[in-house]
Structure 1
Amino acid sequence: MEISYKQLLPKITTFIFDVDGVLTNGMLTIMPSGELVRHMNVKDGYAMKTALNKGFRVCIISGGTNEAVKSRLAALGIEDIYLGAHNKIVQYKEIVKKYNLTHNEVLYMGDDIPDIPVMQKVAMPTCPNDAVPEVQQTAKYISNIKGGEGCVRDVIEQVLKVQEKWDNYFDATL
């Protein structure tokens, strides 16, 4: 009997996300100065901040190196931000060791080929609905939302709801 992805959600303690194509739509605006501008969805930010406030770990592993991205994520309270990661399994193993995690506790969301090695390790590999076909084949859950449009909020909200940690009202203590 095949296990439903929903049955894996109660054990999740740690979220790991890629940036480009997950927290952003994967598009880059190239400014005249050469600066690359990315767009992030505030709903994803709210969900990540909520998860942190509820005691979950939120980590970032990205091949990109944009310092503005790092600043935005750090401002949300995310401490484990790995940029310039081209072999993401190295940073994944570091996170697992640092927090003494099992693979069953980890949800990872990626959208492209470099994400597959980590997705193959975690209990809950996920992706946005515009991820490349190889990633979609690896995922146990494909969000119905595209990268940069709230797919991170989608998976965080599902985990928190299953664990009865999602509040359907504004909590001023956040």
Structure 2
Amino acid sequence: MIQPEVNFTYQLDHLRRAAAVKVMIFDVDGVLTDGSLTYGPDGEATKTFNVLDGLGIQLLQKSGVATAIISARQSPIVVRRAADLGIMHVHQGIHDKRIAFAKLLEATGVTAAQCGYIGDDVIDLPLLLQVGFAVTVPTGHPEVQYRAHYVTKAGGGRGAVREVCDMVMRAQGTYETALAPYFA
């Protein structure tokens, strides 16, 4: 069997982009979760989050990269998860994500080029087209996949966020230090 050629230029490009990230921004549905919504008998929606993703976010924060959530949907579950992980910048219920993004840039003092964003649907395109490191998941809409700098191997809610966090830390040279306490 012939192995496909690896595009090293592409690999170097997304690693270069990941190295410049000062703020990593996450969509929720389809990224931090698998995109499923389960409604309980009282109409409340539940979401399932991945613990590997959670630790990845915490390690990324400890390595000096700020984190944020921008989601079009409003959910108290997201507020709870963000608080558990120490994510300080949470913007929900804003369908034009550019508004939340502008507020985030102002609050953090970074440029769009210094941000990474992982989203999965066309509502995420306005941010994906602005940030320095645009990421999506394998189930992301084709228009999103076409425009992303990187498509994760893991799915949304199944380790995609951890994959990106690890990639950013590796690109910035902080991965070994972040994991060192677990090898002591």
TM-score, normalised to structure 1, is 0.93
Q: Percent identity?
A: 31
Structure 2 spans left out of the alignment, 5+ residues: 1-8
Secondary structure of the residue that 1:65 maps to in structure 2?
A: coil
Alignment of 1:19-30 (within 5 A): 19-30=28-39
Distance 1:169 1:125, change over 3 A: closer
Name the counterpart of 2:47: 38
Distance 1:30 1:141, change over 3 A: same
**Contact 2:67–2:89 (CA under 8 A) maintained in structure 1:** yes
Name the counterpart of 2:5: none
Matched residues, number: 172
Q: Which moved more, 1:6-15 or 1:126-135?
A: 6-15
Separation in 2 of the partners of 1:103 and 1:64? 23
Name the counterpart of 1:123: 132
Name the counterpart of 1:154: 163
**Contact 2:47–2:77 (CA under 8 A) maintained in structure 1:** no
Is 2:116 aligned against 1:107? yes
Residue 103 of structure 1, CA deviation: 2.0
Give CA-to-partner distance per residue, 1:50-96, whole Å, 9 cap, x none.
Answer: 11112211000001111022111112111100110110011111111
Name the counterpart of 1:47: 56
Higher helix share: 2
Is 2:181 aligned against 1:171? yes
Q: Work out which of the two has the higher radius of gyration on C-alpha atoms and give 1 or 2.
A: 2
Separation in 2 of the partners of 1:146 and 1:10? 22
Write the letter of the residue equivalent to 1:171: P
**Contact 2:134–2:150 (CA under 8 A) maintained in structure 1:** yes
Name the counterpart of 2:152: 143
Residue 162 of structure 1, CA deviation: 1.6
Q: Which moved more, 1:6-15 or 1:80-89?
A: 6-15
Write the letter of the residue equivalent to 2:166: E
Structure 1 spans left out of the alignment, 5+ residues: none
Residue 13 of structure 1, CA deviation: 1.0
Write the letter of the residue equivalent to 2:34: N
Residue 170 of structure 1, CA deviation: 5.8
Separation in 2 of the partners of 1:163 and 1:124? 13
